[in-house]
Amino acid sequence: MLARMDHSVRFPCLFVVAALLAGCGTMRSSVVIEPAAGSYSSPAAVPASRVARTPIPGGSYVVAKGDTLYSIAFRNGVDFRDLAQWNAIAVPYTIWPGQRLTLSPPAAAKVAPHAPAPVGSSRAPSVVASAPVFEPVTASTPAPSATVAARPHAQAAPATSAPHASPAPADAVPVAGVSVTPPAKAPPIAKPVVAGAAREVSGVSWRWPVEGGSLVGRFNSSDAIPGIEIAGNSGDPVRAAADGVVVYSGNGLVGYGELVIIKHNDSFLSAYGHNRKRLVKEGQRVTAGQQIAEMGSTGTTRNELEFQIRKNGNPVDPLSYLPPR
């Protein structure tokens, strides 16, 4: 009888143990496999849109011939990096006439749920196709029709094709309606002026953009054109306030006349307006003290230079950066 009791007790125990082991196996199979570092395979890992560096104007802008991404950002008081991110435009920020750019962040993209990788698989889950990854804009990768119009006369190419044989140099600044291929002969570079006091602020060595002249207008952030005005004579040399690359040279911004904009680094731009004549082109590298224009009265009633410095898209007082006089 004891033998039969022992058998009847052991059998249910074995059944319970087997059930527990099966349950543990099920629990192990439901463990979520963490994706490899750098993979955007889950909603939590998708990079969120950063907070805009400037007030968001909203609305949209249709690119006109001669525009650059920098001039559009400058005109609308936003940082060029924010404008590029809002429209999924990758470096070198190529745009073209008729393209509609949104002047606000897009609605948060919905990321499709991703199935977990099989248990025991060492391979990380693949990247979700809808993750907002910036890649060079090519003819074979058209931008969404909601924000970017089809580029005219684009040549289709396989997605896996090799880079173009003659890519634009790093300093090239695409201008709407103009080929990004640099001209065969670069424009002559004027000799930089060594003389002149300099002041280093925020990693940039600044100098006055004109020699002499009188300060006739001080900075006011609430002005429609927030900068300083330096009066002088027609034809006086206008010089780069610091080393950089010309990202706009034109007259498409109302109120500025003949305008030159120089990018010094990712944070700082400087602008030179009301010129009689511009002496530099987009993509041209300039040095501090190099003549970039001739003073004039375009867009104003007197001979003067409208000088601005913008930090992360926001106008700042140039007198806080220029050396004292």
pLDDT in tens, 55-83: 888 899 999 999 999 999 999 999 999 99
pLDDT tens sequence across 5-38: 555 545 554 444 444 444 444 443 333 333 333 3
Give the angle subtended at the CA of 150 by the CAs of 146 and 151, to the nearest 5°: 140
What is the pLDDT, as a whole number, of residue 50? 67
Give the angle subtended at the CA of 272 by the CAs of 269 and 274, to the nearest 5°: 150
* Cβ–Cβ < 8 Å for 84, 69: yes
Predicted TM-score (pTM) of this structure: 0.64
Query: Residue 263: beta bridge partners?
Result: 245, 269
3-state secondary structure of 71: helix
What is the pLDDT, as a whole number, of residue 184? 47
Q: 214-223 burial, b if ≥16 CB within 10 A, otherwise e?
A: eeeeebeeee
pLDDT tens sequence across 36-54: 333 333 333 334 456 778 8
pLDDT tens sequence across 268-279: 999 999 999 999
Report DSSP state, residue 193: P
**Six-digit token pair at 144?**
């969404």
pLDDT tens sequence across 176-224: 766 655 544 545 555 555 457 999 999 999 999 999 889 999 999 889 9
